[in-house]
Amino acid sequence: MKKSEETINIKNQTKGKLPSLPFENIKNKALGKKYELSLVFIGDKLSKRLNTQYRGKNSPTNILSFPLSEDSGEIFINYKLAEKQAKKYEREFSDFIGFLFIHGLIHLKGFEHSSRMEEQEDKIRKFFNL
């Protein structure tokens, strides 16, 4: 039996329908094919708890990225908050999820918020038309 080449595990802990995005291809473009990623869609409650625990901010956030090792990490996307923010910024929900996902991937690559980080994000967004 051939070993699965898939290096992304996606879990949806919300009742919302996930957008049809090429999550694995985007991950591969940003971090490489060998990088193992867990992507979890969560609600406000868990988002707030994680944000408080790991960042000291007592509020839900749209995305959290956690590097686990040099070649593995986790990303948590707050589905409900992303839905609200997509409307606020007049963006399609799927595009906004793609934007957040790419943002999280670039953080896992080691970038902090900066113009260099934005350049990295822009390259990938343009490649996938997001």
Mean per-residue pLDDT, 93-99: 96
CA distance 106 to 115: 12
- Decide if pLDDT at 120 tops 90: yes
Burial (CB < 10 A; 0-12, 13-18, 19+), residue 32, is: exposed
Percent helix, strand and coil across the chain, each to the nearest 5: 45, 20, 35
Q: In the prediction, which pLDDT does 5 show?
A: 65
CA distance 47 to 126: 28
Q: Does the predicted model carry a pTM greater than 0.85?
A: yes
Which CATH code is given to the segment(s) 8-127? 3.40.390.30
Q: How confident is the model at residue 3 (pLDDT cuts 50, 70, 90)?
A: very low
Q: What are the extents of the domains in the chain?
A: 8-127
Tokens describing residue 93: 């929900």
Q: In the prediction, which pLDDT does 2 show?
A: 39
